[in-house]
Chains A and B, each alone.
Chain A
Amino acid sequence: DQQVKQNSPSLSVQEGRISILNCDYTNSMFDYFLWYKKYPAEGPTFLISISSIKDKNEDGRFTVFLNKSAKHLSLHIVPSQPGDSAVYFCAGQAAGNKLTFGGGTRVLVKP
């Protein structure tokens, strides 16, 4: 049973436009949600997080939205830059501070 799903394996967007990445979850016990970015041959790096009691968190070009009733979160990147080309993972934190990750979305930003 996949508790965290990223249904779009890839996304292509023009430089300067908005990238929207989506994530669905089933575990109501997640208390935090996180987005990580991963370049090839590197470890994931933290991007932004949101507490389950909030519905929006913003950090520069990155905004995460949480819709608890729909068990859905999204990451908006505005404006998209070529350096944003990477694989993005969403994750939920449950008991024991353990993270459960989605399968990832590969983003390609075209110049």
Chain B
Amino acid sequence: NAGVTQTPKFQVLKTGQSMTLQCAQDMNHNSMYWYRQDPGMGLRLIYYSASEGTTDKGEVPNGYNVSRLNKREFSLRLESAAPSQTSVYFCASRPTSGGAKQFFGPGTRLTVL
């Protein structure tokens, strides 16, 4: 099992450009999450999907959109990137049972110039 995979690993954008961050999990988990990590601030939830076909806003959703393409895949889109979106983005998934544990991908480091 690959677990949670994310592409790309690194990306540099110019202000106003758009891009989609991809996430996939092969653990048959129902719930998936997108977080951003900024220095000294821990991880903050952007959007989550409790199950296929549903998505909800987290703590910092402005400037982002998501798509739960199927049970395996959950993508995060930046329509018009801003320097404030420079961050490390992590995708996570969680099984329906087994406590609160979430499994994280390796992250995408995004720089917006």
Contact = CB atoms under 8 A, between A and B. Distances in A.
Interface of A: 4, 6, 9, 31-32, 34, 36, 41-46, 49, 51, 89, 91, 93, 96-104
Give 3 nearest A-B pairs by CB, closest first: A43-B104, A101-B42, A32-B100
Contact of A4 (B42, B50, B99): B42
A49 B94 CA distance: 14
A91 B100 CA distance: 10
A30 B101 CA distance: 14
Interface residues of B, number: 27
B44 A97 contact: no
A9 B56 contact: no
B105 A43 contact: yes
B74 interface: no
- Greatest chain B CB density within 10 A among A31, A49, A100 is at A100
Nearest to B48: A98
- Greatest chain A CB density within 10 A among B99, B100, B107 is at B100
Nearest to B94: A97
Contacts of B61: none
Given A9-B40, A99-B102, 14 more contacts: A42-B106, A42-B107, A43-B4, A43-B92, A43-B106, A44-B43, A44-B104, A46-B103, A89-B43, A98-B33, A101-B42, A101-B44, A102-B42, A103-B41
B29 to A, nearest CB: 11
Nearest to B105: A43
B31 interface: yes
Contacts of A46: 101-103
Contact of A96 (B41, B44, B50, B102): B50
5 contacts: A6-B42, A41-B107, A89-B43, A102-B42, A103-B40
B110 interface: no
